Amino acid sequence: MFFELRVYAMQPGKGPEFVKYMDDEIIPYQRSKGMTILASFLNDAEDTYVWIRRFKDEAEKEALYDAVYNNDHWRGEIAPKLPALMDVDNLQVTVLKATPRSYMQ
């Protein structure tokens, strides 16, 4: 089991709109495809969005990436709105593995 820690810089002044888009569109859509999304956060300045996804193994990750991103709905409806809301060229994704006593497993 492993996690993705995803960090996005939001476009100036777009924080509330981006959070709403994540909460109302992206997260429900990804969950409908089977993605496990554990949490989402804002930093103190409210200009950076952080979220955590969990995968059983690399095979599940590949299958979920395919289900989420390789279709007309993502490409035609969801993805085109993202550049106005976040810096799509500078997102950070870190793969994490839980330590034995971590509450997140």
| CATH of segment(s) 2-96 | 3.30.70.100
> Residue 103 — very low, low, confident or very high, per pLDDT cuts 50/70/90?
very high
* Res. 96: pLDDT tops 90: yes
At 83 the pLDDT is 98
Amino acid letter for position 44: D
CA 1 to chain CA mean position, Å = 17
Nearby residues of 9 by Cβ (< 8 Å), 6 or more positions away:
47, 48, 86, 87, 90, 91
Condensed to tens digits (0 to 9), the pLDDT of residues 52-87 reads: 999 999 999 999 999 999 999 999 999 999 999 999
Domain boundaries, the chain: 2-96
At 85 the pLDDT is 98
At 105 the pLDDT is 87
pTM (two decimals): 0.93
Full strand arrangement of the beta sheet holding 48-55: 36-42, 48-55, 2-9, 92-96
pLDDT average, residue stretch 10-31: 97
